[in-house]
Structure 1
Amino acid sequence: MEFTVEYQLSAGEVTRAFKRGLRRGIRLLRWGMPAFLLGAAAICASVGAFAATAGMVAGAIASPIAGAWAYRRLFRRMAVLLRAPATLRFTGDGYEVRTELSTVALRWAIFDRVESTPEFWLFYRDRKFAAFLPRAAFDDAQQAAIDNIVASRSVAA
């Protein structure tokens, strides 16, 4: 199997893929950090460190807001690069994405897990979101070929 396609991601595709792929990290940011800070505030309050308690509570309130802002800022920078017209070349060993500014080649074996959704293939490495491919870029035969390659690493959507 070897084929090449030309594709340009839309802003909506990039947004949806990242929201889906990063949902675990976003959930941790939204709930984990405030819970940790509130627990630390309770410990500080129990030993009478009220200034530290106030700081921890303020941090628990501000961390989801600051984290969301940081994610959006980072995402905007990355989205510009991801939305460039690209040539995607696929082989049995991996795939290559070539744009005017960069070339990235990845082997299938680098990914621990692939989540197949109706819109994307989401690739994970060490339980972290690493890459994605939009299904819309491929015809039915190409989608079937990619599905066959990643089937051993897939998790149902």
Structure 2
Amino acid sequence: MVDFTTTYEPTPDEVARALGQGVRQQLKIAYLVLPSVLIVSGLVCVLVDALYMGAVMLLVAVVFPLALTWSIRRTGRRRLTYLCVPTTLRLTDDGYEARSDHFTTTMQWSLFGRIVTGPEFWLFFVNKQFTGFLPRRALSGEQQAEFDDFLASRQNTRVA
């Protein structure tokens, strides 16, 4: 049974890393497929003597992931004042509640289509859309283990 409350304050670097990881998970196909298609198309253009078009496609294939990463960080920086505040979190078997001076969020575990457990964060997804994160450091080592076990049992139940 999961039922604990903790207070933490995400750091700006932590928020940037979590957003980067979450959005990369969400846009994994775009990160892989679009540059790959551009590289192949660019090479084909070069082979058929459309050098300018080929060079542009190859350049865009290199710049696209960098531009997307920059865009994610920029979006994250805009949200820092909203996210980098003392937050009280309550995790239960039913869901979680996060409270700060700026927001209150309550979510049922059943709403999440996927929860990615990583070494630094739990990343939450609703309909393949990255919706939030929880830094592992917000919980004690014992609570982290209990929460990981809880998530694993929920996933096994969902599969069965």
Residue 57 (structure 1) aligns with: 58
1:123 maps to what in 2?
Answer: 124
Which amino acid letter does the alignment assign opposite residue 9 of structure 1?
P
Cα 1:112–1:48 change in 2 (3 A) is same
1:10 to 2:11 alignment: yes
1:38 and 2:35 aligned: no
The change in CA–CA distance for 1:95 and 1:58 in structure 2 (over 3 A counts) is same
**Structure 1 residues 47 and 71 mapped into 2: Cα distance closer, same or farther (>3 Å)?**
same
SS at match of 1:100: coil
Q: Which amino acid aligns with 2:83?
A: L
Determine whether 1:84 maps to 2:85. Answer: yes
Residue 124 of structure 2 aligns to a residue whose secondary structure is strand
Give the counterpart of 1:153 among 152, 155, 158.
155
Structure 1 unmatched runs, 5+: none
Q: Which amino acid aligns with 1:153?
A: Q
Q: How far apart in 1 are the matches of 2:151 and 2:16?
A: 23
Q: 1:111–1:72: structure 2 CA closer, same or farther, 3 Å change rule?
A: same
| Alpha-carbon distance, 1:138 to partner | 2.5
Instruction: Supply the distance in 2 between the matched residues of 1:140 and 1:52 (Cα, whole angstroms).
Output: 54
| Cα distance in structure 1, aligned partners of 2:42 and 2:118 | 41
What is the one-letter code of the residue matched to 1:7?
A: Y
Which letter does structure 1 place at the counterpart of 2:148? Answer: D
Aligned position for 1:136: 137
Q: Tell me which amino acid in the other structure corresponds to 1:73.
A: R
- Structure 1 range deviating more: 8-17 or 91-100: 8-17
What TM-score do the two structures reach when normalised by structure 1? 0.72
Partner of 2:74: 73
Gaps of 5+ in 2: none
Q: Percent identity?
A: 36
Residues 88-123 of structure 1: CA distance to partner in whole angstroms, max 9, x if unpaired?
123321111122222221111122333334433233
Report the TM-score, using the length of structure 2 for normalisation: 0.71
Q: What is residue 108 of structure 1 aligned with on the other side?
A: 109
1:45 to 1:147, Cα distance in 2 relative to 1, 3 A: closer
